[in-house]
Amino acid sequence: MRITASHIINWVDNHSKEAQANLPRWIRRLCFDPNATRQLSFPSGDSTFMPGWDGVLFSDQGNAWIPKGASRWEIGCDQTVTAKANREYRKRTKSTSDEERHSCTFVFVSPRRWKGKRKWIAAQEARNEWAEVRAYDADDLEQWLEQTPAVALQFGEELGLSGPGIESLSRYWQIWSQQCAPAITADALFVDRIKIRDELSAKLSEVSPSSSSLTIRAESVEEAVAFCTATAIHLSSIQDEAVVVTDETGWRYVDANPQLRLVIAANAEVATRPVSRPKLLVVIPQATGNWTGKTYSDELTLERPGIYEYEKALVSIGVEESDARRLALNTGRSWTVFRRTNAINPAIRHPAWLDTPQANCLTLLCLLGAWNSRKDADKAVVTDLANRSYEDIEQDLHALAAMDDAPLLKIGDVWKAKSPLELLGQIGNRITTGQLDRFFSIAKTILETPDPQLELPDEERWKAQVYGKIHLHSGLLFEAICDSLIKLAVRGVELPALQNLHIDGRVDRLIHDLFDTADEIRWLSLASHLPALAEAAPDAFLKAIEKSLRQANPPVLHLISETGSTTGFGGRCWHAGLLWALETLAWAPNRLTRVALILAQLSHEPVKGNWSNTPASSLFGLFRSWLPRTAAGLPARIATLDKLIAHYPDVAFDVLIALGSGGPQMAGPAAQPKWREDDAGAGHGVTVAEVQAMQIAARERIIRLSHHNASRIASLLEHNVLTHQDDMPEVLSLMEPFSTKQAIDEDRDLLRKALRRVIHWRRNYDDAPTEELDRWLKPVEEMYERLAPHDLIVRHRWLFGNHWPELPCDDRLNDSNAKIELVTRARIAALSEIFRAQGMPGIEHLIETSTEPGSIGNPLVQAVGNTFPWSQWIADFGGEFLPMEKHSWCISSLLGSPGFADNKVLSSVIELGKTNSWSSEKLARLLALAPIHTQTWTLAQECGPEVEMHYWQQVRPGYWRYDTELGHIVESLLQAKRPRTALHCCEFDLDKMSSGLLMDALQHLLAGEEADVNMIDSWHLDKMLQRLEASSEIDRATLIQLEFSLFPALSYGYEGSARALYEGVMSEPELFKELICLTFKPDHGEREELTEATQAKAHVGWKILHACKRQPGTQDNGKIDPAEFARFIESARNLCMTVDRIGSCDRALGQIFAHGPADEDGTWPFLPAREILDGSDMDEMRSGFYIGTCNKRGVTCRSPCDGGELERTLATSYRDQAERMQSTHPNVAAVLESLAIWYERDGAREDVNANLRKEGF
C-alpha cells in the first residue's frame, strides 16, 4: 500500500471539512520523534478554529522535513495555495516579534500540488524576516509518509486505502475493543496487569542490534494481540513505528519499510515466516494452553485479573456496580469471554472449540464443574457420568485445553470450567437425559455421605486428616456439584433443550430428600455447603429448616450447639454456613419474612464463644437502616418487623434497639447469591430519607414495646436510643408508673441506674451552658430521686459496684485525690444511713450483695467509728477467712484502712482466735488478709512457726515494689515452697535480688513446687538468665544444667536465651556427645527402654539441637575461629563414633551449619563449614544441612493469590550460591542446587494453590 499525492488531493477535494480538521493531527504525528521533540502543539478537530499558530514545534535534531530548533507552522487546504500562503505569512510576520522570528523557521503546509512553491520560498527568504522559510505540498507529504510507514498505514486506513495483511495499532485495537457493548477500554484491560504491561513496555522499547522475537501468552490469541497493541499505544514512543500483520502478505509491507521497529503478528500462523532484520522485534501471540513447540526464548504470560479488580474494571466501562460481581463470575474474569458473551456481532458469539469433536466431553464440566484428577474417587465419578474411560476423557480435555480461547482450565491436577455459565449456554443443549439421571444420582450419593470427621471427638476433629477421617472425594468436587445444582436450577430452564426436563423441579426434590428428615449428622456434614444448596432450591431449603425447628430437639440447632467456644486453632463455627445460606435467601423480597422468623428462632439458641457470626447479627443486617442486606423495599422491611414483633417480641426488641442506637455503626458484607439475581441493584445503601423513615418506624415500635417493662426502658438509655433532650419527656413518661409505691425496688433501681448514667454524662461532658443543663436535667434528676428504692441496701449498693462509680453530679476534678474523696464521702454517707437503720446486719447484707466488697472496708471504719468492737465483729463475721469470700475481701480492706494502721485490731482478733482455739491455718488466713509489711510478719512470727509457715503458704504478695523487704519475702516464699509466686513477686525488680537467691528460686521452680500457679513467661525468664549469666557468683556448669532444665519454658522465640547452654554445647565436644546420646538412639542396634523422665530429657535435647544457631569456634567478639571450628567437629565426631551415633551427630551438625554466617563476599555457607560439608563421607551431614536450611525458613506470609514468588526468589538465591562453588565444593553445590529445585517445585505448588483460590476454591 502506497499513499500518493493524488490520494491526498482527492481526500481534500472530497472531504474538505474533515481534511481541514484532521490534517494538523497527521502533521503532528509525522513531526513527533520521542528522541528529539521537546515541544509539540498542533491543535486538531474543533480546536483548529482557535486563534494562534496551527503548529508549534521544537526539535533538537531535525531532519529533511523538520527544521532543527524552533519552528512555527501554518496549514491551509485552500485551492489558491499561493494566496493563502501569502496571507498567513504577512499576518504571522506582522504579529510576531523580531526576536522570535529570527530564531524560528516559518513553515507552510498545503495538501495540494503547488507549482510556485520554490519561487515563493525564494521570495520570502529574500525578505530575511525569518531564520528560515519552508513550504510543503502534496508531493512532499507523499515522500514524508514513505519514511513513516506506521503513520502512513493509519492515514491510509482513514482514507480507505489500507493494504492487504496489515493494520495499524489503532485500527486493530478499535475493531477488537468495540465488538462488544459496553466497549472494552485499555485501562480496563490493564487492570491487575500493570506489572506485566510495564514489563512488556520495557521489552518493546529495547533496541536489539539483531532481529528478535517475543512470545506473549493469553487466554486467547486475540486478547494477547489486543494487549500488545494497547501497550504500544500507551507507550506512544513506538506506536508510529509499529504495525499489526494480519496475513502473510503483510510481511511484504514490513519488508519494504525498514523504519518499522515493532511488528505484532495477529496469530502464530502468521509468524511462521516473518521478516528478519536488525532492530526489528516480532511479537508472537500464543494461547495459554498451547505449549506446542515451546522454547526458552523470551516470553510473557498474561494472567486473568483477580475477581475484585475485574469487578472494578467492569464498573469503569459502564457495568452497573450491582451486576459487576455476578458478571465477573459469569465470565470467569475473562475479557475474551466478556467480549464474546456481550458481542454486537453474532458471529463472535460462536467459539471455534464448539465445533471440535472433543467438545462433547464438555458436558461433564457443565454438570460437575470441577474435579481433582489425583483423587481416584473423583475420577470414578467422572467415568460413571461420562460412561467412558477416564483416559479417553482426559485426552479430549487436553486437546481442548491446548486450543485458542480454551473453555476449560487445568490448574495443577484440577480440571475446571473457565466460565461455567457460558459453557452451560454453549454446550447445555448436548446434555442427554441419561447424563442428567446419572448426575443427580451421583450428587445424591455424595451429598448423603456422612462426614467421617464427625466420628471423632470435637477436640480431635482438627486432626481428621492425620486419622484418615476425610471424604474419599475431594472437597473441590463437593463445591462444584453444589454449584452445578444452582446453575441447573437457575439457568437450565432457559435452555430450550432442557426446558422439558424440569431440571429446577429435580433440584428441588434433591434438596427436599437431603434435608426433609435430616438428622444432626446430615446438617453437620453439609454445613459448609448450605449456602449453595439453599440457593439451588430456596423454598425446599426453608421448608426443611422450618420443619426441623418444629421438632422437640431440632437437629438443625446442633449446628449452633456443636460450635465450641474456641475461636482459635482447631475451632470451627459450624453454624456459619447456615447463617450465610439464610442471608443469601433473604435478598429476595418474597423470602425476607420467612428468613427473619427462622433467624429469630435460631437466636434463642446460645452461641458459645465470641463468634461474630450469630443469628442475631444476621437478623439485624436484614433491617439495618442505612445498609439493609435485602432487596426488599422499606414498606416490606417494616411489615416484616411487625411480624417479628408479633411472634418474637424479645428478639424484635433487640433488633429495634440496634436500629435506634446512636453513634457510629459498622457493617460487614453479607452472603450474596452466586448465580441468582435476587440482589440485583441492592446492597449499596439507601437514601437519607429512607434511613430516617426506618429510624422513625423503629422508634415508634420500640416505645410501644417498652411500656411497663423496666428492663426495656433502661435499654433505651443504655443504648443511646432516647437520650437526646427532646426525647427525655417520652422516657420519663415511660418511667412514671415505676415511681409509685407499688413498683418493686429492683425495677426502680434498674431505671435509676440508667438515669444516673445520663446525669453523670451530661454533668461532666456536655458542653451546653450550665443554666440550660440545669433546666432540662431538672425533671430527670427529680425522677431519679423519686425512683429511689425503699430498701436501703438496694438504694446504695451501686456505690460499691466498682472502685470508680459514676456519680450523678459534676465530678470533673483536676486532683484525683479530690475525686476519691468525693466518692468516699458518698460511700460514708450511705454506710452511715444503713448502719443507723439496720445496724451491722444491714452492713453484712450489703457486703454479701456487693460486687466490689473491697470498696466497703475503708469507708466503713469512718462511717461506724473506732469505738465499735471491730475485733469481735471481725472474729464473728469472718468465718474461716477464706480468701475468695466476699466478707474476707471486705475485712482485708478494713484491716488496710488508715484507722487500723497500728495493727491493734488485728492483734486483738488474733488474741480472740487463740482464746477460741482457732487452728493455725485459720490464723494464717486472717493474717494473709492484712497488709503485707513488717508488722504483719512480726505478728505471724509471734504466733509460732506453724502459723508463720501457713501464712507464707497463703499470702498473695502481688507485684508491689517492696524495696528492702523483697529479699525477705522471696526467702520466706521459698521456705513455703512457693517459688513461682516468689519469682512473680520479683520479676520486675531483679536488680534488687542477689544472684544466689535468684538461682535458688529457679532451682526450687525446677523441683516442681507450686505447680498450680502460672509459670513465669519466657520474657521474664530470659531477663533472669541474663542476670545470672552476667554474675560471677554462679558456676558455669551449674548454669548450663539450669538452662537445660529450664529450656522447655523458653518458648515463643526465646529459645536463644539459653546462651550459656549453647556456648557449652558448641565448645565442649564431650557435652555435645552427651546431648546427642541423650536425644538419639544408636545408629545400630536397639536402645534400652526409655522411662518417662528419659523421654522428656530426650525431647528437651532435640529442642536444644533444633534451636541451636551458635557455630563451633565462636569467640567472645562473635567471630568464628576456623581452627577451633574444625577441631570441635573432629573431636565431636570421634566421640560420637565411639558411642555408635555418628549419623545423628552429622545430621545435627549439618542443621547447625545451616544457621551459619556467609563469607565477606556473600558466599554461603561460610568457608570452614563448606570445607567440612564437602567431604565425600559427609552425606548425613549434608542431609542435616538440607533439613536445617528448610526448617530455618519458618513461617511465611503472603497474599492468598500471590503464588510462589517467595519460593522462586529463594531458589534463585540458592542456585546463585551453588554456581559460586560449583568447582571448589561440588558436593555442597549439589545440596544447594537440590534446595533450589525443591523451592521451585514448592513455588509451583503455591502457584497452583493461588490459582485455585482465584477460582473460588
The CATH code of the domain that includes 321 is 3.40.50
Q: What pLDDT does 1052 receive?
A: 80
* 346 and 361, same domain (yes or no): no
* 338 and 373, same domain (yes or no): no
Upper half-sphere CA count for residue 443 (Cβ side, 13 Å): 29
> 1191: closest CA among 1106, 1066, 1076?
1106
Q: What pLDDT does 346 receive?
A: 86
User: Is 536 in contact with 486 (CB distance < 8 Å)?
Assistant: yes
* 338 and 376, same domain (yes or no): no
Q: What is the dihedral of CA 764, 768, 774, 775, to 10 degrees?
A: -150
704 belongs to a structural domain: no
* 224 and 181, same domain (yes or no): yes
DSSP annotation of 162 reads P
3-state helix, strand, coil in the chain (%, to 5): 60, 5, 35
- How far apart (Å, rounded) are the C-alpha atoms in residues 687 and 681? 14
694 belongs to a structural domain: no
> What is the amino acid identity at position 959?
Y
Q: What pLDDT does 1219 receive?
A: 96
463 belongs to a structural domain: yes
Upper half-sphere CA count for residue 395 (Cβ side, 13 Å): 6
Tens-digit pLDDT profile for residues 24-37: 988 988 888 888 88
- How far apart (Å, rounded) are the C-alpha atoms in residues 1249 and 563? 28
pTM, two decimals, is 0.81
Q: What pLDDT does 296 receive?
A: 45
* Spatial CB neighbours of 1118, under 8 Å, sequence gap ≥ 6: none
User: Is 887 in contact with 878 (CB distance < 8 Å)?
Assistant: yes
Rounded to whole angstroms, what are the CA distances from 471 to 378, 381, 412, 454, 457? 11, 14, 20, 11, 17
> 370: closest CA among 443, 442, 476?
476
Under-70 pLDDT residues of the chain = 1, 160-163, 211, 290-297, 565-570, 662, 813-814, 959-964
366 belongs to a structural domain: yes
- How far apart (Å, rounded) are the C-alpha atoms in residues 379 and 371? 8
- How far apart (Å, rounded) are the C-alpha atoms in residues 410 and 397? 9
Query: Pairing mode, if any, of strands 104-109 and 132-136?
Result: parallel
DSSP annotation of 1114 reads B
1195 belongs to a structural domain: no
SS3 329: helix
- How far apart (Å, rounded) are the C-alpha atoms in residues 1209 and 1221? 19
Length of the chain measured in residues: 1257
* 395 and 501, same domain (yes or no): yes
Q: What pLDDT does 543 receive?
A: 97
> What is the amino acid identity at position 1200?
P
Handedness of CA 932, 934, 938, 939 (dihedral sign): negative
Rounded to whole angstroms, what are the CA distances from 1103 to 1045, 1096, 1149? 12, 11, 14
User: Is 397 in contact with 408 (CB distance < 8 Å)?
Assistant: yes
Query: Pairing mode, if any, of strands 69-75 and 104-109?
Result: parallel
C-alpha cell at 569: 486453632
* 313 and 361, same domain (yes or no): no
Residue 646: exposure state from Cβ atoms within 10 A (0-12, 13-18, ≥19)? exposed
1066 belongs to a structural domain: yes
Domain boundary among 563, 590, 617: 590
Place of cell 515494689: 961
Tens-digit pLDDT profile for residues 662-671: 677 888 889 9
* 320 and 173, same domain (yes or no): yes
- How far apart (Å, rounded) are the C-alpha atoms in residues 1109 and 239? 57
* 254 and 399, same domain (yes or no): no
* 344 and 369, same domain (yes or no): no
Full DSSP string of 964-991: GGHHHHHHHHHHTT-HHHHHHHHTT-GG
Query: Pairing mode, if any, of strands 104-109 and 299-301?
Result: unpaired
Domain boundary among 147, 175, 202: 147
Domain boundary among 553, 568, 590: 590
- How far apart (Å, rounded) are the C-alpha atoms in residues 1141 and 362? 60
User: Is 260 in contact with 242 (CB distance < 8 Å)?
Assistant: yes
Upper half-sphere CA count for residue 876 (Cβ side, 13 Å): 8
Rounded to whole angstroms, what are the CA distances from 1029 to 617, 995, 1024? 55, 9, 9
* 377 and 523, same domain (yes or no): yes
User: Containing H/E element for 315?
Assistant: helix 307-316
- How far apart (Å, rounded) are the C-alpha atoms in residues 854 and 852? 5
Does residue 1053 come out as left (phi exceeding 0), alpha (psi in the -120 to 50 range) or beta?
Answer: left
Handedness of CA 354, 358, 360, 365 (dihedral sign): negative
* 338 and 393, same domain (yes or no): no
176 belongs to a structural domain: yes
DSSP annotation of 413 reads T
Place of cell 482438627: 462
CB atoms within 10 A of CB 1154: 20
- How far apart (Å, rounded) are the C-alpha atoms in residues 404 and 219? 7
* 371 and 504, same domain (yes or no): yes
**78: domain range?**
1-147
Q: What pLDDT does 156 receive?
A: 76
- What is the separation, in whole angstroms, between the first and last Cα of the chain? 52
Quote the number of domains for the chain: 5
879 belongs to a structural domain: no
